[in-house]
Amino acid sequence: MKAYEYFAEVLPDGHLSIPEGLRDKIRVDSKIRVMLLIDDEETAWRNLSMSQFLKGYSEKDALYDRL
């Protein structure tokens, strides 16, 4: 199995866009697996919060991990 990653647009008719270079690799009767990863604002904020929180962690704080 080969995997290709690209950013697609949802077209007005509800279909997803496929880049020209990739479209040439897909036969009309091909069965493909599609995975949708949709960014949502809540997840973005949670990831930002976690990364900022961990930036403040110091090796000196490891003392409290052993309590």
Which residue segment(s) compose the domain that 2 sits in? 1-67
Give the tens place of pLDDT for each residue, 31-56: 888 888 777 777 777 777 877 777 77
Overall pTM > 0.85: no
DSSP structure string for 2-65: --------B-TTSPBP--HHHHTTS-TT-----------HHHHHHHHHHHHHHHT--GGGHHHH
Q: How many domains does the chain have?
A: 1
Q: Chain-wide mean pLDDT for the chain?
A: 82
pLDDT for the residue numbered 15: 92
Mean pLDDT, rounded, for 57-64 = 73
C-alpha dist (Å) from residue 19 to 7, 33, 43: 9, 16, 28
Residue 19 reports pLDDT greater than 80: yes
